[in-house]
Structure 1
């Protein structure tokens, strides 16, 4: 009998040991999945074992550079459908030390919202996409997964006299666009998106849902331009809608270099930031082919929007910018909502429902973006050299977006976005190609960098400023992304935020002291240096 008891005890002990060994052997992702509720796992969580995993992952990837076989894949994708799902995901990821990437529209130029070099999961926000407009207050609550197109469409369905200043690409998600600053063709009249946001809801590192009152003014300041993903998960934004005229005027005047485009561009630099704030004119140089032999030349598009009537616009430009040669036949009058389709290169007359379209499969294109700020007019000789270099590269084009107006009236410290007065225009460099070979990709990437280097004498310096929404890993990035080196962070932070960087660090240290919310270009926590004095130093005190 005693032998039987000993045998039973041995078997029980062995069972416990085996059970503990099995538990210990579980990977962090298994612990993470086990931490989530059954409904969350069964309804909105996708792992590589799910047949829909690749579809869910790829449908929001807008840049094929991050859609290759060698691109790191998430351990899981959680397509949250309500606020509690976000809270649960944050709590379980933190308790299991798993990095999360927060994706709303998938337009992050360096893929930071859906790619990491350490094990990670994607918190996908696209189901959280409601837009609730309050006409009495002229406000709207917008969830992070809502696209700009849906926001515009919903506002217009309520009123043709209200709008919101943000981007021209209507498939962009509100979460990342607004938290990085957000700008568009209404910025000279009304400022950036963040200048018109009056409240927000965020899930913090503890899983709490906070609004402006409960998060405090420091955190509310930080997420409007400092990048929300450094501080938590933005659930929604409250927008202050702005008044627009029932009809706006748009135009797209194209001029070849042989038609005097260089002189027109030079004059544009001098007057575009000084024009009436109702008028926004973007300069977009492109390389095109003409003639039977396909000669490559530069053609410049002057794309404009005016909040007013054609007659007033023509008088204004005949006085201030006659070199453009704008004619009445170049102009189209339409409601503001229709202009959002015009700016997205949609044919005039495109149904408004196109604003709700989302690409079922993003275009198979590889892309590299960079940005710059210009404070002094670029000389004509340099502009001519720019055209020659563009022709060499063939696939690189630019967008030059004018400042002035409301942008120079807002203090650089009012939000984390510091690029206000003193700038003539913002440059976006765009390089797009379709060839899949690594050699071709390397060629294009190197050309983008050499073009950027060529522009050094003509743009801002000390620091050379950059726009957070135009993500560019070349200006500094932490690798691996689970280790945030303060020196590297200060390098890119000073370019994105200038003098606002230190305040962002202080807010980050306060709300996320363990630096859970981090990625390659996130805001770091403050370094605390302890100075230990030896006895000799003490004796001299």
Structure 2
């Protein structure tokens, strides 16, 4: 009898040991696959989960990497990329990432300047929403449901095919994904008339930390407030947005007037600061500063790129009365339907077939990029404008976009959404340092110049805090490393710059909906209750 008991004990112990050994010896990707098989009823691993050994892994990964700084042999790689084909796959991904203690990175368009949507310094998986990209237009109530993986190009194209007098205020780049672009604010050349994308979003669907699919009613107004400008990736996985479309004029007028320093550019730029935020809200004029070579000499050339919701005949008197220094003439202008103007802003020839809005390169050839942002509240003096240009020429590859405020932007309270940068700003600066050189040390050299230039701009921009725009992601304003330890003092550093007084409300929402801080990354909103909240 004792022998039988001993044998039974031995066999039981051996079975447990073998079971534990088998489980612990499985690769992370196999554990993930097993979890998916357990939870998902509509699962085909061959076209949803890609491990590093899958021949398509690199193709899927690189498809949405637009910044070559993060496309190197030493860049961190995910344990797996999940490409859900329906909402249940998103729910399962969240469950399985939690069970296996993997950090989750959420990617829609992949335009994040710092690569936070597909990189991490701890074990992680990417959920890439490229297949969740439908766009459904309801002409009766002039709304559109768009899935998070839909590009702006597809959104614009689908709207125009239904009704050419409808539009949606958001960005210029066609390959921007709706998930990240809208949750960060959504910035574009219609903002002086209609505000940001988030000011025209009326519903959303999100998968929360418990795997529940919530719409505006079921998530509540606090969470709906948070994801419109506070960054969706801190709170869950955005599935789709409901957009309220806007009515635009049958014809819009666009122009691009270039001025060099020896053509009086200093005076024109100075006057632009005074008038661009005060012009009729149908007018948007960006001042873009680029280093160019003319007659063998590097100089800064400023392009005044404009759009008016109306005809040339209505535009010219408005500009010539308020901004005669620009010298705008009729032959500088072109009129066209709004949908065609999206090509003008993306620097694509007018007349290009609208189907080009749908084009997405399968393996884009990215450039190296360092992006940053600033807000300007007082005009920059003329002599300082020229000092800024002098430093730009020294750096060669850095450009600036000055985007005017005013109009609808100053009519919306800073607390209405997490995006606080409303009244009181003359314009937003986007700094873009982009280069293609591959020489040793080029990345460090160019990034260091961006930081030097940003520091040089300190006297001319906002302070206490020095504000920054979430859509122009910049790790230099503060970031948690490693990303699985969220320190509140670090979070307040970047949080105050991105969200100002709205940061504490975002933390309260986060604490309520994701108390254990599962959804986190280097610049995420922290939970007050999380063990990772130090």
- Smaller-chain TM-score range? over 0.9
Report the secondary structure of 1:367's partner residue: strand
Distance between the aligned counterparts of 2:257 and 2:75, measured in 1? 41
Aligned to 2:248: 244
Aligned to 1:21: 21
Deviation at 1:2, TM superposition (A): 9.2
Aligned to 1:475: 477
Deviation at 1:301, TM superposition (A): 0.2
Deviation at 1:361, TM superposition (A): 1.9
Deviation at 1:20, TM superposition (A): 2.4
Report the secondary structure of 2:443's partner residue: helix
The answer to whether the aligner puts 1:384 opposite 2:389 as a matched pair is no
Q: Deviations over 1:243-299 (max 9, x none)?
A: 0001100000011111001100000000000000000000001111111xx210111
Distance between the aligned counterparts of 1:11 and 1:523, measured in 2? 50
- The partner residue of 1:128 within 128, 132, 142 is 132
Aligned to 1:102: 106
- The partner residue of 1:489 within 485, 491, 511 is 491
Aligned to 2:201: 197
Aligned to 1:313: 315
Q: Deviations over 1:511-537 (max 9, x none)?
A: 0000000000000112699xxxxxxxx
Distance between the aligned counterparts of 2:484 and 2:2, measured in 1? 55
The answer to whether the aligner puts 1:91 opposite 2:95 as a matched pair is yes
- The partner residue of 1:80 within 55, 62, 84 is 84
Alignment check: 8 A CA contact 2:81 2:126 kept? yes
Distance between the aligned counterparts of 1:2 and 1:390, measured in 2? 87
- The partner residue of 1:147 within 147, 151, 168 is 151
Structure 2 unmatched runs, 5+: none
Aligned to 1:359: 361
Report the secondary structure of 1:398's partner residue: strand
Aligned to 1:67: 71
Distance between the aligned counterparts of 2:260 and 2:152, measured in 1? 33
Aligned to 1:273: 277
Distance between the aligned counterparts of 1:264 and 1:193, measured in 2? 30
Deviation at 1:119, TM superposition (A): 0.5
**Normalization by structure 1: what TM-score?**
0.95
Q: Deviations over 1:135-169 (max 9, x none)?
A: 01000000000000000000000111100000001
Alignment check: 8 A CA contact 1:221 1:416 kept? yes
Distance between the aligned counterparts of 1:40 and 1:518, measured in 2? 28
Alignment check: 8 A CA contact 2:234 2:525 kept? yes
Aligned to 1:418: 420
Question: 1:174-213 maps to which residues of 2 (within 5 A)?
Answer: 174-213=178-217
Report the secondary structure of 1:273's partner residue: coil
Aligned to 1:539: none
Distance between the aligned counterparts of 2:269 and 2:162, measured in 1? 39
Change (3 A) 1:524 1:3: closer
Report the secondary structure of 2:479's partner residue: coil
Number of residue-to-residue matches in the alignment? 527
Q: Deviations over 1:159-183 (max 9, x none)?
A: 1110000000111000000000001
Deviation at 1:24, TM superposition (A): 3.4
Alignment check: 8 A CA contact 1:28 1:98 kept? no
Deviation at 1:30, TM superposition (A): 3.6
Change (3 A) 1:179 1:2: closer
Alignment check: 8 A CA contact 2:29 2:51 kept? no
Q: Deviations over 1:11-56 (max 9, x none)?
A: 5643432222222344554433211127242331000121111111
Alignment check: 8 A CA contact 1:203 1:234 kept? yes
Deviation at 1:94, TM superposition (A): 1.2
Aligned to 1:260: 264
Report the secondary structure of 1:274's partner residue: coil
- The partner residue of 1:222 within 216, 221, 226 is 226
Alignment check: 8 A CA contact 1:248 1:305 kept? yes
Aligned to 2:293: 289
Which stretch has the larger CA shift, 357-366 or 179-188? 357-366
Aligned to 1:535: none
Distance between the aligned counterparts of 2:91 and 2:2, measured in 1? 54
Instruction: Compute the RMSD of aligned alpha carbons.
Output: 1.6
Distance between the aligned counterparts of 2:245 and 2:530, measured in 1? 42
Report the secondary structure of 2:372's partner residue: strand
Distance between the aligned counterparts of 2:476 and 2:497, measured in 1? 12
Report the secondary structure of 1:132's partner residue: strand
Q: Deviations over 1:488-530 (max 9, x none)?
A: 000000000000000000000000000000000000112699x
Distance between the aligned counterparts of 1:346 and 1:528, measured in 2? 48
Aligned to 2:405: 403
Alignment check: 8 A CA contact 1:40 1:85 kept? no
Deviation at 1:312, TM superposition (A): 1.1
Distance between the aligned counterparts of 1:401 and 1:17, measured in 2? 64
Alignment check: 8 A CA contact 1:218 1:507 kept? yes
Deviation at 1:435, TM superposition (A): 1.7
Distance between the aligned counterparts of 1:509 and 1:2, measured in 2? 56
Deviation at 1:7, TM superposition (A): 5.9
Aligned to 1:532: none
Aligned to 1:371: 373
Structure 1 unmatched runs, 5+: 530-541
- The partner residue of 2:350 within 348, 351, 357 is 348
Distance between the aligned counterparts of 1:422 and 1:489, measured in 2? 25
Distance between the aligned counterparts of 1:497 and 1:326, measured in 2? 37
The answer to whether the aligner puts 1:32 opposite 2:32 as a matched pair is yes
Alignment check: 8 A CA contact 1:29 1:98 kept? no
Distance between the aligned counterparts of 1:528 and 1:155, measured in 2? 42
The answer to whether the aligner puts 1:160 opposite 2:164 as a matched pair is yes
